[in-house]
Amino acid sequence: MSDLVRYPFFHDGIAQILACPAGVARDTGVLLCRPWGHDEVCSRKFYKILADAIAEAGFPTLRFDYPSTVDSIDPDTDHGLDTWMDAADKSADLLRKLGCKRIVVFGLAFGTVIAHHLVRTRKDLSGAIFAAPLASGRRFIRETKLSEKLLYETEQIPLTRMDADQTSILGNVMPPRVATDLSKFKLDCPDNLNEMPVLCLARENIKGDQDFVSLLSSQCSNATVSDFPEFADLTVEVLTSKVPYKMVGTVVDWMRETQEPTSSAAVKIDLANLKPTAVSDTYRETASYLDVADKRLMIVATEPPAGTDVGAVFIFGNTGGYDHHGGLARNSVHAARTLAEHGVASIRFDSVNTGDSYPDLPVGQEVLYTPVSIEDFQHMVDFASEKWPGPITLVGRCSSAYAAFHTAADDSRVRQLVLVNQLKFIWDKDVPNELKNMMYRSGGEYKKRLSDPKIIKRLLKGDIDIPAASKGVARLAVRKATEKTSQYLPQLTKFGRMKLEALDMFQTLLTRNVPIHFLCSLGDGSIEELEAHFGSDLSGLSGLTNVTYTTIEHADHRLTPDHARAAFIETLVRAAEASSEFSESSLHVNQPELASTG
């Protein structure tokens, strides 16, 4: 890793991460304004890489989370877009206090709305960068709602489960007043833009981008336009998100060319007054990096208020594959803060190659279902054991559930597991560790989809990759055949031998009396994984007195609907109750809709 300072902290309740040279820096700082929702999750790693690249060029760079998003504190009252703009203003003011005389603002997608506000209202900007500019707030809200509806239809979740009045995507709900304010936004060229260098990274096939390019060309004398075809690959899906390294180079080159140092350009950034801890009435949170084994892992530790005894300790893995530590729809954030109200301390973290952690692996090299992800969980167990005395529970969804399961089997300090939609207990070492081999749909779901008129229509239109889907169905058929054979002659098949290995791990956890709580969405591939190991009726679980099994109706693999996330929270509170001494009165939560419990 390069000789940079990367420092996470809270400023007036706003979660921030500063990247700057370890020695002397230039006197121009850069403020990165994030996208929102799905785009934010997909671009978290990109923002880290962009911040580091700009800081390598000598410019202190600050990125932050808007209030009520990711790690920032939730405002006490309903808030509008002005609150998010105010957070950006406070962050820019902080860069000034740290010694930056001028500021360049960067915005991507929704972040261009916030960048536009800073351009319009501040006098200390020396440049602005608009990437995939959001031209119309009303159109953005309409397209977001349509995308959420399409997601529900694709995942075959009843539309009655979707709140049509709110603006949301993948469970990320935009505060109502923010949505109302955003609906009135239209991107224009404030007079201030003509007074500074401007870089626009525009998509050729998006009319809003090209309209803004035309405005810039006619009204701004110092505007540079560059194509941005990588936006789709960056934001289409977090698991396959590709960092636009070419765009990063374009931004850094533009900074060097347009931001000439002043006569007193050298500044030394003083971190002494930057506080890593935020305090609310119900919890305390501390952000930090853990340096261990040539890694730098991003951690947010949540604790009950000062003076409250810490009971159990929970560790949240990434909520799938490359979802960052906040979790989709802030699942991990909400869970950690809810548990803190019940005396539970917790850690949420980014594993290697994810979010704000280091190092990043070469393109195409994965950590999912590898020893690396298990090692990172182990590092968190070491950290938690030194910090708190309470019993440790590991929480994971999808691939992080796999890592949690293996960590618990190997480490007696782990006293409980919560595993959500776990697709694998053992990874087949002969199967390439590639994303295309990490399916989460069950065989039953494929059959349902083949009879769904909407899916058939998409097939006929060519919207679905038929060869890829066919390969997926074929792999499932082969898997089913080997599962049947393994029931009688497990040693004769590879799956049978893998199954015996997994059952040995289950027996180890039973012997240690480690509770295991499975939470599965009905129709998810995780249920078929359990059936393959314990029988189609799951009768094999009867001998595992340490295992509970709960299913959720009308939910997807990601737990997108509100009731699915409520079920997740309730499962965690019950697990906390099992590992800590709480009074019954302190455990009141809203009861979600659970399909079955065993």
* pTM of the complete model beyond 0.85: yes
> Looking at the structure, do residues 284 and 410 belong to the same domain, yes or no?
yes
The whole-number pLDDT of residue 307 equals 80
Phi, psi of 537 (to 5 degrees): -100, 5
CA gap 192, 196 in Å, rounded: 7
The whole-number pLDDT of residue 114 equals 98
> Looking at the structure, do residues 245 and 283 belong to the same domain, yes or no?
no
The whole-number pLDDT of residue 472 equals 56
Residue ranges in the chain modelled with pLDDT below 70: 1-2, 262-265, 439-491, 580-598
In a domain, 338, yes or no: yes
> Looking at the structure, do residues 43 and 88 belong to the same domain, yes or no?
yes
Q: Which of 268, 293, 323 is the last residue of a domain?
A: 268
Question: pLDDT by residue (tens digit) across 528-573?
Answer: 999 999 999 999 999 999 999 999 999 999 999 999 999 999 999 9
Phi, psi of 391 (to 5 degrees): -65, 145
Token pair, residue 147, equals: 């995308």
CA triple 470-472-475, angle to 5 deg: 110
> Looking at the structure, do residues 321 and 213 belong to the same domain, yes or no?
no
In a domain, 167, yes or no: no
In a domain, 356, yes or no: yes
> Looking at the structure, do residues 289 and 320 belong to the same domain, yes or no?
yes
> CATH number of the domain that 19 lies in?
3.40.50.1820
The whole-number pLDDT of residue 438 equals 77
> Looking at the structure, do residues 232 and 287 belong to the same domain, yes or no?
no
> Looking at the structure, do residues 221 and 290 belong to the same domain, yes or no?
no
The whole-number pLDDT of residue 569 equals 97
In a domain, 421, yes or no: yes
> Looking at the structure, do residues 257 and 343 belong to the same domain, yes or no?
no
> Looking at the structure, do residues 412 and 290 belong to the same domain, yes or no?
yes
In a domain, 222, yes or no: yes
The whole-number pLDDT of residue 548 equals 96
The whole-number pLDDT of residue 380 equals 98
In 3-state terms the chain splits into helix, strand, coil percentages (rounded to 5) of 45, 20, 35
Domain around 281: 277-431+490-597
> Looking at the structure, do residues 284 and 264 belong to the same domain, yes or no?
no
Q: Which of 268, 297, 329 is the last residue of a domain?
A: 268
The whole-number pLDDT of residue 466 equals 59
In a domain, 33, yes or no: yes
Is cis: bond before 515, omega within 30 of 0?
A: no
Which candidate, 103, 4, 102, 94, places its Cα nearest to that of 48? 4
> Looking at the structure, do residues 58 and 198 belong to the same domain, yes or no?
yes
Query: In terms of DSSP bridges, do strands 125-131 and 168-169 run parallel, antiparallel, or are they unpaired?
Result: unpaired
> Looking at the structure, do residues 534 and 419 belong to the same domain, yes or no?
yes
- Report the number of distinct structural domains present in the chain: 2
Looking at the DSSP bridge assignments, the partners of residue 315 are 347, 394
In a domain, 436, yes or no: no
CB atoms within 10 A of CB 214: 10
Q: Which of 268, 285, 313 is the last residue of a domain?
A: 268
In a domain, 337, yes or no: yes
How far is Cα of residue 336 from the mean position of the Cα atoms in its chain? 15
The whole-number pLDDT of residue 445 equals 53
CB atoms within 10 A of CB 218: 9
Token pair, residue 507, equals: 């027996």
Instruction: Output the 3-class SS for 2-69.
Output: CCEEEEEEEECCEEEEEEEECCEECCEEEEEECCCCHHHHHHHHHHHHHHHHHHHCCCCEEEECCCCC
Which candidate, 193, 155, 195, places its Cα nearest to that of 171? 155
The whole-number pLDDT of residue 439 equals 65
